[in-house]
């Protein structure tokens, strides 16, 4: 039997005493936590569990291994474990990154913003949460990439939630850029800023209304827009070309990968994603970006891109078939959520 020295034995006793301390003692006298103190998964008391399982299985098969994280976020984590999502999707700085020869990521950790550089000026997609973030994060990120904010010609608002249009009024007034949104989401921004959930924000002055199928051309670049309802009634999605070291690719930027938030939004999103799949297939879309970094592994891809070795592929180029699978996952996850609500398509 191995003998233990007196100092060692004393240490063991002290350790045992410490390990047996009450939770209140460990917390410095605070009362012990109860079950109610811990955030719980979202409850769906009306869920059709058989239908949930059916659609989750379908989404999992579509995702395979390469899109599993995207499926898990949209089908499981975001609706069922929102506290965990908020813990990851916090407001924080990112390292601005040149994603393609003409496309730059200049947003923040919680919400994306992209600048598309053309021969006649800059086009900005989304403007972060508010004027302060536009001043303190977005503009410095642009300048770090060698982009002059005075060259902003257009600002595209992908949808009418405050975290996407919050900085638009300040940018519009400061740089004279024209602001583009769909008719429905112009209404949403104005109502939301007046007396709705974004009443602390100032909506940009109503400017350009982009119709479904409309085109914006600036210099050598044309963007085709489509209204893809679901996340909001007038979510605006875009298809446009870029190059990667001179190699041409086509970006599909869906403005509503956050999914529907209620029955109306979920029902609208399913045919909208089906149509988006058809449009992007016809256009040859092979590049996936999203307006929240968490929706498409953006932060991780940008880190890889900034440290790419010669010959490493651009991680945002997923290929045409993978892009189509991503879109199908979004629709299937809407069906999962309807089933959780006891509803069907």
- 4-35, pLDDT tens digit by residue? 333 443 443 334 334 444 444 445 677 888 98
Other beta carbons within 10 Å of 328: 18
Q: What's residue 3's pLDDT? A: 38
Does residue 58 carry a pLDDT above 60? yes
Q: What's residue 35's pLDDT? A: 84
Does residue 304 carry a pLDDT above 70? yes
Residue 207, domain CATH: 3.60.15.10
Does residue 266 carry a pLDDT above 60? yes
Beta bridge partners of 155: 124, 179
Q: What's residue 6's pLDDT? A: 35
CA contacts within 13 A on the Cβ side of 236: 32
Locus of tokens 């005075």: 150
For residues 63-80, average pLDDT: 98
Helix (H/G/I), strand (E/B), else coil: 120:
coil
In a domain, 39, yes or no: no
Beta bridge partners of 125: 114, 156
Helix (H/G/I), strand (E/B), else coil: 105:
strand
* Mean pLDDT rounded to a whole number for the chain: 92
- φ, ψ of residue 197 to 5 degrees: the values are -65, -15
Q: What's residue 2's pLDDT? A: 36
Whole-number Å distance between alpha carbons of 140 and 287: 26
Going by pLDDT thresholds of 50, 70 and 90, the confidence category of residue 128 is very high
Contacts of 316 (CB under 8 A, 6+ apart): 99, 100, 287, 288, 289, 301, 305
Whole-number Å distance between alpha carbons of 331 and 274: 7
Using an 8 Å Cβ cutoff, are 288 and 299 in contact?
no
Give the total number of structural domains in the chain. 1
In a domain, 3, yes or no: no
Q: What's residue 195's pLDDT? A: 77
Whole-number Å distance between alpha carbons of 301 and 247: 19
Reading the block at residue 159, the tokens are: 């949808």
Instruction: Please tell me the chain's helix, strand, coil percentages from 3-state DSSP, rounded to the nearest 5.
Output: 45, 15, 40
In a domain, 178, yes or no: yes
Q: What's residue 8's pLDDT? A: 40
- Cα dihedral 196, 202, 207, 209, rounded to 10, equals -30
**Share of residues in the chain with pLDDT > 90 (%):** 87
Closest residue by Cα to residue 328 from 90, 75, 146, 85: 75
Whole-number Å distance between alpha carbons of 302 and 324: 22
Give the structural domain span for 302: 61-340
Q: What's residue 29's pLDDT? A: 72
In a domain, 233, yes or no: yes
**Parallel/antiparallel/unpaired status of strands 152-156 and 178-181:** parallel
CA angle 43, 47, 50 (to 5 degrees): 130
Locus of tokens 């913003």: 113
In a domain, 122, yes or no: yes
pLDDT greater at residue 327 or residue 25: 327
**Share of residues in the chain with pLDDT > 70 (%):** 92
- 129-162, pLDDT tens digit by residue? 999 999 999 999 999 999 999 999 999 999 999 9
Beta bridge partners of 239: 224, 252
Closest residue by Cα to residue 248 from 311, 323, 297, 314: 314
Helix (H/G/I), strand (E/B), else coil: 323:
helix
Q: What's the N-to-C CA distance of the chain in angstroms?
A: 70
**Residue 178: its H or E element:** strand 178-181
- φ, ψ of residue 220 to 5 degrees: the values are -90, 10
In a domain, 125, yes or no: yes
In a domain, 69, yes or no: yes
For residues 26-49, average pLDDT: 87
In a domain, 46, yes or no: no
- 80-110, pLDDT tens digit by residue? 999 999 999 999 999 999 999 999 999 999 9
Q: What's residue 27's pLDDT? A: 52
Whole-number Å distance between alpha carbons of 167 and 120: 23
């Amino acid at each position: 039997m191995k003998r233990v020295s007196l100092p060692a034995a004393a240490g063991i006793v002290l350790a045992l005493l410490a390990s047996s301390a009450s939770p209140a003692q460990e917390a410095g006298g605070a009362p012990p936590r109860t079950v109610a103190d811990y955030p719980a998964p979202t409850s769906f008391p009306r869920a059709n569990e058989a239908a949930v399982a059916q659609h989750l299985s379908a989404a999992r098969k579509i995702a395979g291994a390469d899109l599993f994280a995207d499926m898990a976020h949209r089908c499981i984590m975001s609706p069922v474990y929102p506290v965990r999502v908020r813990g990851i999707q916090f407001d924080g700085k990112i390292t601005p990154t040149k994603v393609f020869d003409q496309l730059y990521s200049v947003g923040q950790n919680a919400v994306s913003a992209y600048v598309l550089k053309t021969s006649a000026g800059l086009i900005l997609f989304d403007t972060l949460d508010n004027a302060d973030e536009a001043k303190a994060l977005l503009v410095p990120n642009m300048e770090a990439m060698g982009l002059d904010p005075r060259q902003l010609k257009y600002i595209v608002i992908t949808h009418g939630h405050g975290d996407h249009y919050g900085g638009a009024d300040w940018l519009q007034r400061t740089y004279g850029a024209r602001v583009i949104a769909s008719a429905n989401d112009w209404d949403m921004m104005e109502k939301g800023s007046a007396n709705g959930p974004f009443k602390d924000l100032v909506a940009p002055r109503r400017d350009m209304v982009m119709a479904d199928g409309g085109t914006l051309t600036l210099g050598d670049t044309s963007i085709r827009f489509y209204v893809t309802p679901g996340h909001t009634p007038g979510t605006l999605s875009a298809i446009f070309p870029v190059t990667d070291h001179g190699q041409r690719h086509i970006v599909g930027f869906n403005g509503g990968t956050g999914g529907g938030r209620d029955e109306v939004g979920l029902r609208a999103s399913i045919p909208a994603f089906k149509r988006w799949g058809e449009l992007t297939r016809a256009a040859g879309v092979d590049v996936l970006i999203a307006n929240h970094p968490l929706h498409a592994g953006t932060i991780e891809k940008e880190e890889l891109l900034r440290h790419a070795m010669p010959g490493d592929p651009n991680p945002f180029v997923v290929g045409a078939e993978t892009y189509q699978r991503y879109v199908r996952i979004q629709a299937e996850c809407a069906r999962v959520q309807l089933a959780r609500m006891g509803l069907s398509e």
